[in-house]
């Protein structure tokens, strides 16, 4: 009985984890149709930003929740200005450019930070359920993911800024003729997406440690989650994270971590065969 | 000027022989090659190998070299890439004509270059600890094997902590084969492996494994985890409040500087068995560590067993060359087989002529505050696993890696 509860809690943790890792990519891809293959490296740099701040004596929560997203947002602004701005509407070119950027960032991080894992201890302790002891940090992550998604939904659905963003996403020309400057919307969107990737990196640092090549493992999972989610940035990513996270965790518990990943990929393949436009291409259509 | 065919042929022949002539005239130096990953994912393992090879060679050179000649090391960095291993091994054996090659970190890289060096008849030394079983007259292996480390650690663990063992291992040949040895030695010690889980090297999420372990309630956890991603297990184990709840023993923990990267809260109490720890208290080791830090500074990488066995490997080769009074491959092999002992930093290392492995001292250490406290030491442990299947004295042409079933 306790074990069942433990498995359920682990599922919640895994879903939160997957949602956090994917949301930055979802914002950039969903709003701008730009596939940011450097997403994993944005996560990695967020992790390094958090860890170096902690090593410099800054409070760990401040480092993870403020410094990591801010520093990656600054990088995002630069990347948008220098690279992405020139490539809007050319999806394959944005992929190539961001892939190159990804290799460059891995190389730079390896050169300057060294090819070794750095880490910090998790800032919260553990709790017990019956005979089982669990890390509380996973649930802090799930809680933060919940807050991020709720805030994202509220902003897109109920505020003027959200309306402008959705309008630009749906019909760029029309939005432009109504006095909205799409290039500004894009710049802000890219910065926010980058900030969310940085936030994910900062929050993951105590769990997985940070390594220059860590992004590779995340970008594939995030990408699959976003594609499975479909057109709606927030709703789609939340639904697909829940679905794929649960499948992954349950199959990992029953079998091995390898088969857990296999199950996740298999589920994503089947879903895309049945719902080629993603979950929100069929249900919850039009939700933000 | 008109170039006649004769002139052309003569010139070409001169040009082609020139490097060869050059080399034999300038051959005051003995050239040896090293192939260790000094960049890429395995860099953290490779740096200490390289430092200890340098230390051993510079000590030999300061003492006058070998056969009255200085030793020069040609270093190749395969960048954690197996393809470069095969390319560099070929180059070292052919164009460089290296007297011997020290190289290979993972078992995969060893199996990539061992056949090449065999084919080109170039003597080969492999120094990391590994899963055992290589039987090849052209190769000497100075690192420890499972019977030496696991064979001591398992009786220790079963006696002190209990019979139920849970194994977590890296999912490639090292982890798979070593896990079989753990099963074998646990059974011999009267215990039982209740579960073995394998993790690819890119896995960072161990939460499911941590809950499964709590459900199975083992007395001991045995880890054969490898590399930076797998360190997450110890972080998540501590974050789940489990640090110190179930004893963890390992024959890989520390080889990748885990005890230095992880915080004391995450790593204190983990026990490991190796042929060497930097903390061993003996006059020989204290002098060795002092020389090491004099040469490379206080921030030099922690000396792992891999590194100290590399130091021993260079000295075994030097023993062979001195005894044979020659660099000839077969003469050196026979000289080493006739008996070579190196009083290395971790104790004496003696070549076993039948297996080309080393009898070595083995120590069990426990992590405390980023370093190991030595709990027990076992003198002169023979490479019994490989010796059970390999006899190069009786079958000098044997050339394969035996694997436990």
Specify the CATH number for the domain of residue A168.
1.10.3470
DSSP H or E segment with residue A142: helix A137-158
pLDDT recorded at residue B12: 55
- Mean local confidence (pLDDT), B259-277: 93
What SS3 class is residue B39? coil
Q: Which residue of A has its CA nearest to B237?
A: A135
- pLDDT higher than 70, residue B5: no
Rounded average pLDDT over A268-278: 89
Residue B224: pLDDT band (50, 70, 90) is very high
The ipTM estimated for the assembled molecules is 0.83
pLDDT for the residue B73: 96
Region(s) of chain B under CATH 3.40.50.2300: 30-144+300-358+384-394, 147-274
Q: Closest Cα partner for B363 from B376, B350, B380? A: B376
Identify the architecture of domain B147-274 in CATH. Answer: 3-Layer(aba) Sandwich (3.40)
Cβ(B379)–Cβ(B347) below 8 Å: yes
B20, pLDDT greater than 50: no
**Burial track A225-248 (b if 16+ CB lie within 10 A, e otherwise):** bbbbbbbbbbbbbbbbbbbbbbbb
Contact B235 A206 (CB under 8 A): yes
**Sorting pLDDT into bands at 50, 70 and 90, what band is B333?**
very high
Q: Which range has the worst mean pLDDT, A128-137, A278-287, B95-104, B274-283?
A: A278-287
Domain assignment of residue A288, yes or no: no
Q: Å from B86 to nearest chain A CA?
A: 23
- Which residue in the set B200, B239, B262 is minimally distant from A126, CB to CB? B239
For the segment A257-263, the average pLDDT, to the nearest whole number, is: 89
**Mean pLDDT of the A242-264 span:** 91
A182/B273 Cα distance (integer angstroms)? 62
Position B6 confidence tier, pLDDT thresholds 50, 70, 90: low
Number of neighbours of residue B76 by Cβ within 10 angstroms: 21
Q: What is the pLDDT of residue A258?
A: 86
- Identify all chain A residues contacting B203, using CB atoms and an 8 Å cutoff: 257
In B, minimum Cα distance to A123 occurs at B239
Residue B301 DSSP one-character state = P
> Average pLDDT, stretch B64-91?
93
Q: What domain count does chain A have?
A: 1
Q: What is the mean pLDDT of residues B297-308?
A: 90
* Mean pLDDT value across residues B126-149: 94
Confidence of residue B14 (pLDDT cuts 50, 70, 90): low
Find the residue in A nearest to B235 (Cα): A207
Q: Which residues of B touch A (CB under 8 A)?
A: 39-41, 43-44, 171, 197-200, 202-205, 207-209, 211-212, 214-215, 228-229, 231-232, 235-236, 238-242, 245, 257, 261-263, 265-266
Q: B139-141 and B123-126: which strand pairing?
A: parallel
Question: What pLDDT was estimated at residue B18?
Answer: 47
- The model's pLDDT over A179-217, given as tens digits with 9 standing for 90+, comes to 999 889 999 999 999 999 999 999 999 988 898 988 888
- How far apart CA B41 and CA B63 sit, in angstroms, is 36
- pLDDT per position as a tens digit, B39-59: 877 888 898 999 999 999 999
Q: Which of A20, A68, A8 is nearest to A225 (CA)?
A: A20
Residues of A with a Cβ under 8 Å from any B Cβ are 3, 6-7, 10, 13-14, 17, 110, 115-122, 125-128, 131-138, 206-209, 211, 213-214, 216-217, 249, 252-253, 256-258, 260
Measured CA distances, B264 to A237, B267, B309 (Å): 38, 5, 27
The per-residue pLDDT of chain B, averaged, comes to 90
Give the pLDDT of residue B19. 45
Burial environment of residue B16 by CB neighbours within 10 A (0 to 12, 13 to 18, 19 or more) = exposed
Considering the domain boundaries, does residue A287 fall inside one?
Answer: no
The tens digit of pLDDT for each residue in A135-189 reads 889 889 999 999 999 999 999 999 999 999 888 888 888 989 999 998 899 999 9
The CA R_g of chain B, rounded to the nearest whole Å, is 23
Contact (Cβ atoms closer than 8 angstroms) between residue A14 and residue B207: yes
pLDDT in the model for residue A241: 95
To the nearest whole Å, the CA of A67 is away from the closest chain B CA by: 23
- The answer, yes or no, to whether residue A239 has pLDDT greater than 90, is yes
**How many beta-carbon pairs below 8 A join chains A and B?**
116
Q: How many other CB atoms sit within 10 Å of the CB of residue B46? A: 25
Q: Is A38 among the domain residues?
A: yes
Average pLDDT over residues B64-81: 93
Domain with A264, as residue range(s), is 2-282
Which overall architecture, per CATH, does domain B30-144+300-358+384-394 show? 3-Layer(aba) Sandwich (3.40)
Mean pLDDT of chain A: 91
């Amino acid at each position: 009985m306790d074990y069942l509860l433990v498995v359920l809690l682990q599922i919640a943790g895994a879903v939160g984890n997957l949602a956090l890792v994917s949301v930055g990519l979802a914002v950039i891809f969903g709003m701008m149709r730009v596939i940011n293959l450097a997403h994993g490296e944005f996560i990695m740099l967020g992790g390094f930003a958090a860890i170096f701040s902690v090593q410099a004596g800054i409070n760990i929560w401040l480092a993870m929740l403020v410094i990591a997203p801010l520093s990656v947002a600054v990088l995002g602004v630069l990347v948008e200005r220098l690279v992405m701005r020139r490539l809007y509407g050319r999806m394959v070119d944005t992929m190539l450019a961001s892939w190159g950027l990804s290799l460059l960032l891995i190389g730079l991080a390896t050169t300057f930070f060294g090819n070794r894992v750095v880490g910090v201890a998790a800032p919260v302790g553990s709790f017990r359920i019956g005979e089982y002891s669990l890390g509380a940090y996973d649930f802090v992550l799930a809680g933060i993911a919940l807050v991020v998604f709720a805030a994202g939904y509220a902003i897109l659905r109920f505020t003027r800024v959200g309306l402008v963003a959705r309008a630009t996403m749906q019909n760029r020309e029309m939005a432009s003729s109504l006095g909205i400057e799409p290039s500004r919307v894009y710049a802000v969107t890219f910065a926010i997406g980058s900030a969310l990737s940085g936030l994910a990196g900062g929050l993951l640092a105590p769990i997985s440690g940070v390594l220059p090549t860590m992004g590779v493992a995340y970008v594939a999972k995030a990408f699959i989650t976003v594609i499975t989610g479909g057109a709606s940035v927030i709703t789609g990513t939340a639904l697909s994270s829940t679905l794929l996270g649960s499948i992954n965790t349950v199959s990992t518990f029953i079998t091995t971590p390898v088969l857990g990943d296999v199950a996740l990929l298999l589920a994503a393949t089947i879903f895309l065969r049945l719902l080629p436009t993603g979950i929100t291409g069929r249900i919850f259509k039009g939700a933000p | 000027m008109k170039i006649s065919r004769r002139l052309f042929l003569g010139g070409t022949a001169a040009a082609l022989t020139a490097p060869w002539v050059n080399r034999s005239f300038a051959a005051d130096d003995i050239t040896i090659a090293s192939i260790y990953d000094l960049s890429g994912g395995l860099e953290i393992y490779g740096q200490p190998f390289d430092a200890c090879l340098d230390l051993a060679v510079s000590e030999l050179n300061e003492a006058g070299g070998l056969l009255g000649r200085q030793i020069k090391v040609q270093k190749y960095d395969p960048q954690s890439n197996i393809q470069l291993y095969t390319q560099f091994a070929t180059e070292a054996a052919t164009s460089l004509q290296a007297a011997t090659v020290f190289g290979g970190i993972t078992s995969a890289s060893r199996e990539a270059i061992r056949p090449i060096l065999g084919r080109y008849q170039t003597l080969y030394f492999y120094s990391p600890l590994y899963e055992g079983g290589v039987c090849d007259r052209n190769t000497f292996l100075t690192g420890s094997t499972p019977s030496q480390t696991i064979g001591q650690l398992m009786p220790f663990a079963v006696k002190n902590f209990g019979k139920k063992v849970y194994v977590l291992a890296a999912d490639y040949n090292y982890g798979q084969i070593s896990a079989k040895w753990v099963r074998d030695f646990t059974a011999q010690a009267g215990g039982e492996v209740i579960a073995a889980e394998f993790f690819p090297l890119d896995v960072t999420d161990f939460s499911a494994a941590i809950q499964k372990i709590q459900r199975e309630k083992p007395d001991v956890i045995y880890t054969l985890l490898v590399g930076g991603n797998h360190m997450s297990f110890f972080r998540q184990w501590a974050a789940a409040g489990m640090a110190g709840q179930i004893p963890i023993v390992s024959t890989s923990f520390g080889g990748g500087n885990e005890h230095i990267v992880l915080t004391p809260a995450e790593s204190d109490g983990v026990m490991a068995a190796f042929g060497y720890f930097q903390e061993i208290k003996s006059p020989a080791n204290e002098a060795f560590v002092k020389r090491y830090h004099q040469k490379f500074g206080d921030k030099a990488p922690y000396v792992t067993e891999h590194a100290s066995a590399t130091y021993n490997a260079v000295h075994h080769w030097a023993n062979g060359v001195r005894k044979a009074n020659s660099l000839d491959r077969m003469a050196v092999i026979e000289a080493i087989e006739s008996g070579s002992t190196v009083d290395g930093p971790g104790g004496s290392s003696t070549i076993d002529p039948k297996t080309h492995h080393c009898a070595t001292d083995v120590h069990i250490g426990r992590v405390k505050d980023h370093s190991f406290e030595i709990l027990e030491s076992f003198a002169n442990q023979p490479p019994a696993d490989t010796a059970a299947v390999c006899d190069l004295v009786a079958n000098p042409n044997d050339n394969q890696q035996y694997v436990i079933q």
